[in-house]
């Protein structure tokens, strides 16, 4: 599960590091976008056999955002990215890399990142999508960080964006109450390392494909190409064995958090804020118990947005930065779990 990547890497590109020592990678701007349309738990009662009380007590979710029919994931992503670029004071032309984490791409091909590039006019960027479900944003951060540390690129846009409402089975009360749409983005920059270390300090990622069947979106790929049968079988929607996912999510996120902290020589006592994947309040409470961390150190917004998969962490992070919960110098631990199964944890000093 652990990847023992060093905190900093030796300089490779003289143009980036002339006279400087090792590089570090910092988030220099954050942004988010959520659709205007709010769907409350009361409205859910009119769609499936559920109750406001069941949804709130079993998940902690009160409402979620739903994108317009003409809006695609890249539209949400580009709005979040523009905000992040503004916050960073970075022009789109300076972006060398765009990684979009998503399980709800505009199309199977081309990548959503390429559509984002076009909307932003970031013509110099190399663009691709990364699919690791709810862990996608942390996986993407890790990939982008190492491309920057390799010295070949200086500025990256990492985006988590989802229009899950397009892949939600609105007849299935087990899943439709959980998900929402939105996008979050960060601008990463390679900079000379400082002491004390700032930016991303450590990261672990892991996967367990033996449990892939517990969380799937089965139709429309090469295993089950779109057909009358896949449509009739509702195979183009998310399927989840919730109880099993819950159990593994708690264990894997707690272990990943400890692994990332250990890698940079910290303990939970050093952490100012934990920004977890926002799937279920009870999962976050169980992680708090395992890590022995009080709930007021978790930044949460799932009450208002539900589970936005890869977008959950960057949206929460942007909110926490904008409302000055996260302040310069704070140690932030981000931790995620999702389909695959996949998981990850990242520690950074803001």
Query: What are the residue numbers of the active site?
Result: 134, 277, 307
Angle at 142 between CA 336 and CA 349, to 5 degrees: 80
Lookup: tokens for 292: 């022995």
**Could you report how far apart the first and last alpha carbons of the chain are, in Å?**
25
| CA neighbor of 117 nearest in space, from 99, 136, 135 | 99
Query: Under the phi-then-psi rule, with left for phi > 0, alpha for psi from -120 to 50, and beta for the rest, what region is 154?
Result: alpha
| CA neighbor of 349 nearest in space, from 260, 255, 249, 259 | 260
Task: Please select the residue that binds ligand ACO; options are 223, 243, 294, 328, rule is CB under 6 A.
Answer: 243
Q: Output 152 or 248, the one with its CB closest to ligand ACO.
A: 248
**Residue 341: cis peptide before it, omega within 30 degrees of 0:** yes
| CA neighbor of 170 nearest in space, from 230, 236, 269 | 236
Q: Say if residues 184 and 31 touch (Cβ distance below 8 Å).
A: yes
Q: Output 32 or 279, the one with its CB closest to ligand ACO.
A: 279
Q: Output 134 or 153, the one with its CB closest to ligand ACO.
A: 134
Nearest-approach distance from CB 161 to ligand ACO, in angstroms: 13
307 binds ligand ACO (CB under 6 A): yes
242 binds ligand ACO (CB under 6 A): yes
Rounded Cα–Cα distance for residues 297 and 299 (Å): 6
315 binds ligand ACO (CB under 6 A): no
CA 32 from chain centre, in angstroms, equals: 12
Task: Please select the residue that binds ligand ACO; options are 31, 160, 276, 338, rule is CB under 6 A.
Answer: 338
Q: Which stretch binds ligand ACO (CB under 6 A): 115-123, 193-201, 220-228, 237-245?
A: 237-245
110 binds ligand ACO (CB under 6 A): no
Lookup: tokens for 131: 């699919």
The 251-290 contact track toward ligand ACO, x by CB under 6 A, reads ----------------------------xx--x-------
Q: Output 192 or 218, the one with its CB closest to ligand ACO.
A: 218
Pairing of strands 331-338, 63-66: unpaired
Pairing of strands 155-162, 97-101: parallel
Q: Point out the residue whose Cβ comes nearest to ligand ACO.
A: 242
Q: Which stretch binds ligand ACO (CB under 6 A): 6-14, 150-158, 238-246, 250-258?
A: 238-246
Rounded Cα–Cα distance for residues 195 and 191 (Å): 12
236 binds ligand ACO (CB under 6 A): no
Q: Report the site for ligand ACO in 129-148 (rule: CB under 6 A).
A: 133-134
215 binds ligand ACO (CB under 6 A): yes
50 binds ligand ACO (CB under 6 A): yes
- The number of residues that bind ligand ACO (CB under 6 A) is 24
Task: Please select the residue that binds ligand ACO; options are 88, 113, 114, 249, rule is CB under 6 A.
Answer: 249
Query: Under the phi-then-psi rule, with left for phi > 0, alpha for psi from -120 to 50, and beta for the rest, what region is 92?
Result: alpha
309 binds ligand ACO (CB under 6 A): yes
223 binds ligand ACO (CB under 6 A): no
3-state secondary structure of 334: strand
Looking up tokens 């049968």, which residue turns up? 229
Residues at the interface with ligand ACO (CB under 6 A): 50, 54-55, 58-59, 133-134, 173-174, 177, 215, 242-243, 245-246, 249, 279-280, 283, 307, 309, 337-339
């Amino acid at each position: 599960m652990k990847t023992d990547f060093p905190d900093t890497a030796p300089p490779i590109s003289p143009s980036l590091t002339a006279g400087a020592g090792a590089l570090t990678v910092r988030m220099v701007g954050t942004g988010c976008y959520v659709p205007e349309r709010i769907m409350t738990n009361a409205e859910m009662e009119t769609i499936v056999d559920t109750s406001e009380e069941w949804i709130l007590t079993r998940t902690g979710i009160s409402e979620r955002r739903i994108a317009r029919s003409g809006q695609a994931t890249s539209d949400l992503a580009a709005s979040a990215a523009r905000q992040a670029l503004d916050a960073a004071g970075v022009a789109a032309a300076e972006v060398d890399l765009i990684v979009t984490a998503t399980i709800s791409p505009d199309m199977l091909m081309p990548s959503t990142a390429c559509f984002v590039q076009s909307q932003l006019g970031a013509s110099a960027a190399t663009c691709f999508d990364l699919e690791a479900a709810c862990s996608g944003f942390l996986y993407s951060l890790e990939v982008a960080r190492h491309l920057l540390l390799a010295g070949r690129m200086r500025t990256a846009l990492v985006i988590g964006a989802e229009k899950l409402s397009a892949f939600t089975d609105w007849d299935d009360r087990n899943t439709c109450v959980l998900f929402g749409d939105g996008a979050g983005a960060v601008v990463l920059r390679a900079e000379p390392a400082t002491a004390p270390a700032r930016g991303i300090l450590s990261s672990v990622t892991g996967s367990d494909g033996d449990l892939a069947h517990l969380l799937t979106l089965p139709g429309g790929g090469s295993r089950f190409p779109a057909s009358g049968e896949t449509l009739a079988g509702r195979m183009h929607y998310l399927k989840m064995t919730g109880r099993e996912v819950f159990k593994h999510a708690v264990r894997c996120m707690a272990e990943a958090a400890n692994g990332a902290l250990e890698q940079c020589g910290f303990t939970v006592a050093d952490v100012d804020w934990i920004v977890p994947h926002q799937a279920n309040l009870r999962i976050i409470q169980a992680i708090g118990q395992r890590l022995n961390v009080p709930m007021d150190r978790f930044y949460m917004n799932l009450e208002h947005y539900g589970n936005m998969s890869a977008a959950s962490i960057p949206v929460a992070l942007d909110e926490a930065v904008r409302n000055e919960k996260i302040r310069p110098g704070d140690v932030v631990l981000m931790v995620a779990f999702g389909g695959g199964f996949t998981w990850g944890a990242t520690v950074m000093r803001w």
